[in-house]
Amino acid sequence: MLRNYLLATLRNLARNRTVSVINIVGLAIGIAAALLIALYLRFEYSYESFIPGNERIYRMSIESRSAPGFPGAVWDTGDFWMAEHLRNDYPEIEHSARLVDQWFSIDAGQLEFHEQVYTADPEFFRMVRVKSIAGDPATALDTPDGVVITRTIARKYFGNEPALGKRLEVARSFPLRVTAVIEDLPSNTYFNFRIVASGKAQFSTLGLRDLFRRPGVAFGFHTFFSLRPGADIARIDADMPAFMARHYDADTTKSTIIHIYKLADVHLSPPGRWPMSPPVDPRTLSTLGLVGLLVIVLAIINFVNLMTARATQRATEIGVRKSAGAGRGDIMLQFLGEAFLYVLASMLLGMALVEIVLPWFNAMLDTGEEIYPGATLTFQYWRDPHLAGGLAAAALLLTLLAGAYPAFVMSAFSPAWALKRGAAPGGASHVRQVLVVVQFAALIGLAFATLVIHRQTTFAMNDGLRINRDQVVLLHFNLATGATDGFMDAIKAIPGVRGATGAVALPTNYNISALTFSYAGNPPALLQFGATDYNFFEFYGLKPLAGRLASRQYGTDELSAGKVLQELSVTLNESAARQLGFKSPQDAVGQALSLFGTVPFPIPARFTVAGVVPDFPIDSLRGAIQPSMYFVDTTQRRIVSIRLDGQKIPEALAAIDDVWRRMGEPHAVSRWFLEQYYHRMYLDVLQQRMVLTTLSAVAVFLAVLGLFGLSIYTAQRRTKEIGIRKVMGAGTGNVMALLLWAFSKPVLWASLLAWPVAAWVMSRWLDGFAYRVPLGWWWLPAATLGALAVALLTVSAQSWLVARASPSSALRYE
Amino acid sequence: MLKLKQIGKVYRTTEVETHALAGIDLEIRGGEFVAIMGPSGCGKSTLLNILGLLDNPSSGHYEFFGEDVTGLGEKQLTAVRRAAIGFVFQSFNLIDDLSVEENVEVALLYRDVPARERRERVAAALERVGIAHRARHLPQQLSGGQQQRVAVARALVSNPKVILADEPTGNLDTANGNAVLDLLTAISKLGTTVVMVTHSLTHAAIADRTVKLLDGRVASETQLAA
């Protein structure tokens, strides 16, 4: 009996080759797309799984608030002292440790590179137990010259030679000894270290206890702790306000909130400043998951539709088999078995597609940066029982869905009825219509989502940034004094350099300092506080909204080391002016601000607002732009921005490197394009756009495949009707219009379903951005028109063939 | 013996009620060849479907070789069909994806017949209807007459007590139609009950008895002269 069923299935498949291929390939593509998304989501939700006991490790964040109603600033780091205080205050804490990163030149004799170097308390690797290749990480940082490096770094500096015991020099001044080599960190981890030296090293800020004995909070120290087995974090979390009160002054305690995150959740937590690696917005993942689901739903709808359409033409066979003695169970077994064969073929093809496409998908997810490599997905179902089980369950579910109508509905037809009809009744066609409507609703929704994400990304990368970032390369100085005037002049003199400026920090990073100011008794405001060159704002194309920019004409515009001014003219951004209580930027010009509280270093007596510039995103468009104050200090040019002539970039870069060698710091040049930083900031959105665009293309392709298959069946089913219409006088155009209208109706119904849902979902997605594009009124109709165009183009060819057929051949067919 | 007593069949939709059969009393003896005639829409095919347990009557009683099958569930009807009834349809109703021998084999698949015995019986049935030389062909490679022979072989292969033929010659030319009738006559002479629906007086004349239906009722019965 099974052989008979198998033969019938295979020959039916061969006889209806086109539709069979459409069916199998369509479902395979849907399966492959959904599998890739599922693998990606699993990756994103599996952070830190490689660390034994990671569920007991936590990270601290500090939120600093200036006034109620205004956003606080969150740092993904702790204070200098917090790790020590935690260990002393809470017996349930097993380990606590800090890491801090700086950029240094590292050389191993022949090779020298600029690297991100972490220094860590020796406890760190006793808490974070990574896989070792050589040496013992747990004790590797106990000596001041100990350094732990990854396999990649070992190979970079020492080739195939064992690295353990070898020497590395930091900043050409501090020798280190490789005391452990660890496996490269997987890409699903918050940690991004490749070189970790001991916190006892001379160059590490972790040992500067005297420097940090002062009021306030010193940000910048990544702070982690682990609990003893069985301990509960709730008590520590609830005690944080008291913890602050015990160890910090009243002002700091009042304005600081500590957040504790489980290490495994850090990757998905709200972004703060200076994270070790960029987090992902869970909404992004939800969106991707939803889209992946939509694509597989589209594929399944196609598959079920086509299988059902084929099955309905086999009512006669059901009648014959039943009249020959087949029971309902035999018919069910036959059609479910047939569906299973199709699903199996699709599943195998889909899995093969995943294998083929995975390297490209991983390349798309790759950030291109050594320190933030991006997701690396693997598809090893033979070693992963969960994955294998999921695939088997999916195959079963698909079999039931695809075979449901013939197996459970058609098998119940009475033999007489089935033989008389030859084809199943209109109920099946109604089900198919509903499925087509749902399919188009998904397609319209997906097209709309892609359009919104595309517009928001473009806005974020262009209009929203508000600064001119064309061809800007950045040089990074380690020492606080930064670039000298002579260095700047030498850079500006290079042919191919169109301008240069300096600042204490990148335009993409927050400044190190934040101080609280007030105006005329209004509530105080916490302002980011940073030094720039005179021409910083002109360089980046920002014109003042009110007042003026800094100028050498005015004696109060520059703060210099060793010279304390009575009055310093400063520039505010829009948010700062607003938070200080000014009704408009103009109102702020000429007003004097007071420092709130005291600071342990000399400052001007008065801060006068010289001008107000537009807000520009410092970190990302996801977070509100922080209120900021800028002043001129040409002795703090730690970041030099250089605009290049697009025609002469290689020559200009070579000349810049030469100036560095002659006049820069005694280590390898540290140089990046500004574009790289923005790329990193918006990486998740850019990747999302790419993935969504790809998925939309897949969805359109699936819709086209499904429609094409359905149009073939429709043509077969309506051949007699069309023949009669033509005999009655209908022309080719009339018949075309009839058939095209039949396929247009589902699109219009689909719009009614898709529009409210799509608008709500994307509106919520846009809520994740502090600065966003408005939803255009024409976007949804455009998505509908697009879907309509797809539908009509797909079915028009088949409709044309049917419409042109002679009536006699149509009626003879019956 | 097939005994129908006051059999009625009503088809109902939301708007229309159609009485296809009303008060049919009919007895068919084992081994008899009965032709059922009547104008289009008189209920011939409906009567055949009820006789063949493909459909249930709305009223009345049906005794199938001594067993009251009225009101039996689908499973039980299937069991009786499987054991005792073969069908020949006007439009052949062969399965396009199966070869001639595979089509005939379908009638044995649901009867727990071992594979070897199935092959032997299929071969014998094909031989009997004269189509064995086309055993591996697909239906679309055969003429109408040849397809109907295959359908007859399929009906025969299970050695049924009853063969029900619904206008078996309706889609055939005279020569092929006669050939099929000869087959049915031969089967009947071997003791199988044959009930045939036909429009043709000529074809009805070869039956032992002709039952004429009109408007869902038995209008007359004519016995063939001995």
The predicted complex's ipTM stands at: 0.73
CA contacts within 13 A on the Cβ side of A545: 19
- Least trusted range by pLDDT, from A22-36, A170-184, A573-587, A725-739: A725-739
Q: How far is B64 from chain A (nearest CA, A)?
A: 16
- SS3 annotation, A353-390: HHHHHHHHHHHHHCCCCCCCCCCCCCCCCCCCHHHHHH
- Cβ of A325 within 8 Å of Cβ of B97? The answer is no
**Strongest mean pLDDT among A625-629, A773-777, B96-100:** B96-100
The residue type of A135 is G
pLDDT of residue A814: 40
Cβ atoms A293, A699 nearer than 8 A: no
How many other C-beta atoms can be found within 10 angstroms of the C-beta atom of residue A690?
14
Cα–Cα distance measured from residue B124 to residue B105, given in angstroms and rounded to the nearest whole number: 11
Cβ atoms B132, B191 nearer than 8 A: no
The residue with greater pLDDT, A507 or B5, is: B5
**Best residue in A2, A15, A20, A320 for a mutation probing chain B (most B CBs within 10 Å):** A320
pLDDT of residue A368: 66
Rg (CA), chain A: 33
Q: How far is CA A472 from the centre of its chain?
A: 24
For residue B97, list chain A residues with Cβ-Cβ distance below 8 A.
Answer: 7-9, 11-12, 15
Q: How far is A450 from chain B (nearest CA, A)?
A: 45
A331: nearest CA partner in chain B: B110
Cα–Cα distance measured from residue A507 to residue A639, given in angstroms and rounded to the nearest whole number: 9
DSSP secondary structure, A490-532, as one string: HHHTSTTEEEEEEESS-TTS--SEEEEEESTTPPPEEEEEEEE
- Number of CB pairs, chain A paired with chain B, less than 8 A apart: 79
- Inform me whether the pLDDT recorded for B128 exceeds 50: yes
Enumerate long-range contacts of A737-744, CB under 8 Å, 24 or more apart: A739/A711, A739/A714, A739/A715, A739/A795, A739/A799, A739/A802, A739/A803, A740/A792, A740/A795, A740/A796, A740/A799, A742/A714, A743/A707, A743/A711, A743/A791, A743/A792, A743/A795, A744/A788, A744/A791, A744/A792
Residue B136: pLDDT band by 50, 70, 90 thresholds?
Answer: very high
pLDDT tens for each residue of A584-607: 999 999 999 988 766 656 677 788
Q: For A789, left (φ over 0), alpha (ψ -120 to 50), or beta?
A: alpha
What value does the mean pLDDT take over residues A291-309?
82
pLDDT of residue A89: 96
CA contacts within 13 A on the Cβ side of B213: 28
For residue A17, list chain B residues with Cβ-Cβ distance below 8 A.
Answer: none
For residue A328, list chain B residues with Cβ-Cβ distance below 8 A.
Answer: 74-75, 78
Q: Could you tell me the CA-to-CA distances from A702 to A29, A464, A798 in Å, in that order?
A: 8, 35, 17
B108: nearest CA partner in chain A: A324
pLDDT above 90 covers a percentage of chain B that reads: 34
Cβ atoms A141, A122 nearer than 8 A: yes
- Inform me whether the pLDDT recorded for A610 exceeds 90: yes
pLDDT of residue A734: 76
pLDDT of residue A39: 92
- Inform me whether the pLDDT recorded for A244 exceeds 90: yes
The residues, ordered by sequence, that sit 6+ positions from A232 with a Cβ below 8 Å of its Cβ are A92
pLDDT above 90 covers a percentage of chain A that reads: 33
pLDDT tens for each residue of A632-659: 988 888 889 999 988 888 899 999 999 9
pLDDT tens for each residue of A344-384: 999 999 999 999 999 988 887 776 666 666 777 888 888 88
Q: Could you tell me the CA-to-CA distances from A590 to A520, A546, A569, A611, A707 in Å, in that order?
A: 13, 10, 9, 8, 68
DSSP secondary structure, A632-648, as one string: E-TT-B-EEEEEE-TTS
3-state secondary structure at position A552: coil
pLDDT of residue A371: 61
Query: Among B45, B102, B110, whose Cβ lies nearest the Cβ of A324?
Result: B110
Cβ atoms B111, B158 nearer than 8 A: yes
Of the candidates A673, A676, A684, A668, the one whose C-alpha atom is nearest the C-alpha of residue A116 is: A668
- Cβ of B97 within 8 Å of Cβ of A15? The answer is yes
**Strongest mean pLDDT among A169-173, A774-778, B109-113:** A169-173
Kindly report the average pLDDT of chain A as a whole number: 84
Cα–Cα distance measured from residue A265 to residue A47, given in angstroms and rounded to the nearest whole number: 8
pLDDT of residue A347: 94
How many other C-beta atoms can be found within 10 angstroms of the C-beta atom of residue B137?
15
What value does the mean pLDDT take over residues A125-144?
96
**Best residue in B12, B53, B78 for a mutation probing chain A (most A CBs within 10 Å):** B78
Residue A220: pLDDT band by 50, 70, 90 thresholds?
Answer: confident
H or E element in which residue B212 lies:
strand B209-214
- Cβ of A416 within 8 Å of Cβ of B74? The answer is no
pLDDT of residue A465: 64
The residue with greater pLDDT, B175 or A88, is: A88
Q: Could you tell me the CA-to-CA distances from A769 to A367, A456, A534, A625, B83 in Å, in that order?
A: 22, 9, 32, 11, 73
pLDDT of residue A433: 79
How many other C-beta atoms can be found within 10 angstroms of the C-beta atom of residue B73?
9
**Best residue in B95, B121, B140 for a mutation probing chain A (most A CBs within 10 Å):** B95
3-state secondary structure at position B174: helix
What value does the mean pLDDT take over residues B93-108?
87
Cα–Cα distance measured from residue A179 to residue A164, given in angstroms and rounded to the nearest whole number: 6
- Inform me whether the pLDDT recorded for A289 exceeds 50: yes
Query: Among B49, B52, B106, whose Cβ lies nearest the Cβ of A4?
Result: B106
Enumerate long-range contacts of B216-225, CB under 8 Å, 24 or more apart: B216/B8, B216/B9, B216/B19, B216/B20, B216/B21, B216/B22, B216/B24, B216/B42, B216/B43, B217/B21, B217/B22, B217/B23, B217/B24, B218/B24, B218/B25, B218/B26, B219/B38
Q: How far is B56 from chain A (nearest CA, A)?
A: 9
pLDDT above 70 covers a percentage of chain B that reads: 99
pLDDT of residue B224: 65
pLDDT of residue A597: 64
- Cβ of B110 within 8 Å of Cβ of A325? The answer is yes
The residues, ordered by sequence, that sit 6+ positions from A578 with a Cβ below 8 Å of its Cβ are A627
Cβ atoms A501, A516 nearer than 8 A: no
What value does the mean pLDDT take over residues A387-398?
91
What value does the mean pLDDT take over residues A721-727?
69
Residue A324: pLDDT band by 50, 70, 90 thresholds?
Answer: confident
- Cβ of A316 within 8 Å of Cβ of B109? The answer is no
Cβ atoms B222, B209 nearer than 8 A: yes
Query: Among B81, B93, B154, whose Cβ lies nearest the Cβ of A419?
Result: B93
pLDDT tens for each residue of A561-572: 556 667 889 999
For residue B107, list chain A residues with Cβ-Cβ distance below 8 A.
Answer: 324-325
- Cβ of A325 within 8 Å of Cβ of B82? The answer is yes
pLDDT of residue A813: 42
The residue with greater pLDDT, A675 or A117, is: A117
Q: How far is B201 from chain A (nearest CA, A)?
A: 24
The residue with greater pLDDT, A150 or A448, is: A150
The residues, ordered by sequence, that sit 6+ positions from A550 with a Cβ below 8 Å of its Cβ are A532, A534, A557, A558, A569, A571, A610, A611, A630, A631, A632
- Inform me whether the pLDDT recorded for A474 exceeds 80: yes
For residue B52, list chain A residues with Cβ-Cβ distance below 8 A.
Answer: 323
- Cβ of A326 within 8 Å of Cβ of B97? The answer is no
- Cβ of B74 within 8 Å of Cβ of A316? The answer is no
Query: Among A1, A7, A328, whose Cβ lies nearest the Cβ of B74?
Result: A328
pLDDT of residue B79: 82
pLDDT tens for each residue of A15-55: 888 888 888 998 999 999 999 999 999 998 999 999 999 99
Q: How far is A354 from chain B (nearest CA, A)?
A: 34
Kind of pairing between the strands at A472-476 and A671-673: antiparallel
Q: How far is B40 from chain A (nearest CA, A)?
A: 15
For residue B9, list chain A residues with Cβ-Cβ distance below 8 A.
Answer: none
H or E element in which residue A429 lies:
helix A426-461
